Amino acid sequence: MTIERTFSIIKPNAVAKNAIGAIYARFETAGLKIVAAKMVQLTREQAEGFYAEHLGKPFFDGLVGFMTSGPVMVQALEGEEAVRRHREIMGATNPDNALAGTLRADYADSLTENAVHGSDSTESAAREIAYFFTESEICPRTR
């Protein structure tokens, strides 16, 4: 068993749709446990720092504008193969390519406003969790 942690954001458009509970239910049904969570209104600096790897890309400013357009929910999820399992539940980055039943197929409005974020590796997950949570804010569920 490989218990991992991953990092998730419910983006402003999905929060605005009142879909937090529905999305949490998908995580829990898939066996992912929420070990830390909070609602945050991102500042421009926070959003730019989080997406620093995309700095200079044509979609960067639009992405930062969207991510600061309203509150987001950020959470750390724990479970077996959490990174891969969470990416499966989310679906493809572009909702046009997202499989039916995935979060992006159900809640995305566009490629930028694609409802959810999930870490792409355990290394990214560790960095992204630490970007939003201190160690004392994380409550391990698997011990």
Binding site members for ATP: 11, 59, 87, 93, 104, 114
Minimum separation from the CB atom of position 11 to ligand UDP (A): 7
Minimum separation from the CB atom of position 1 to ligand UDP (A): 25
**CA-CA distance, 95 to 113, in Å (whole number)?**
9
Contact 15, 119 (CB under 8 A): no
One-letter amino acid at 96 equals D
Q: Is position 86 annotated as part of the catalytic site?
A: no
**CA-CA distance, 131 to 118, in Å (whole number)?**
14
Contact 111, 98 (CB under 8 A): no
By beta-carbon proximity to ligand UDP, the closer residue of 120 and 137 is 120
Catalytic residue among 23, 72, 117, 119: 117
By beta-carbon proximity to ligand UDP, the closer residue of 63 and 103 is 63
Binding site for ligand UDP (CB under 6 A): 59, 63, 93, 111-112, 114, 117, 120
- State how far Cα 62 lies from the chain centre: 18
Q: How many residues appear in the chain?
A: 143
Minimum separation from the CB atom of position 140 to ligand UDP (A): 25
By beta-carbon proximity to ligand UDP, the closer residue of 93 and 122 is 93
Instruction: Tell me the binding residues.
Output: 11, 59, 87, 93, 104, 114
Strand partners, 73: 10, 39
Minimum separation from the CB atom of position 59 to ligand UDP (A): 4
Alpha helices in 11-115 (DSSP H): 12-16, 20-29, 44-50, 60-67, 82-90, 103-107
By beta-carbon proximity to ligand UDP, the closer residue of 99 and 140 is 99
User: Annotated catalytic sites, by residue?
Assistant: 117
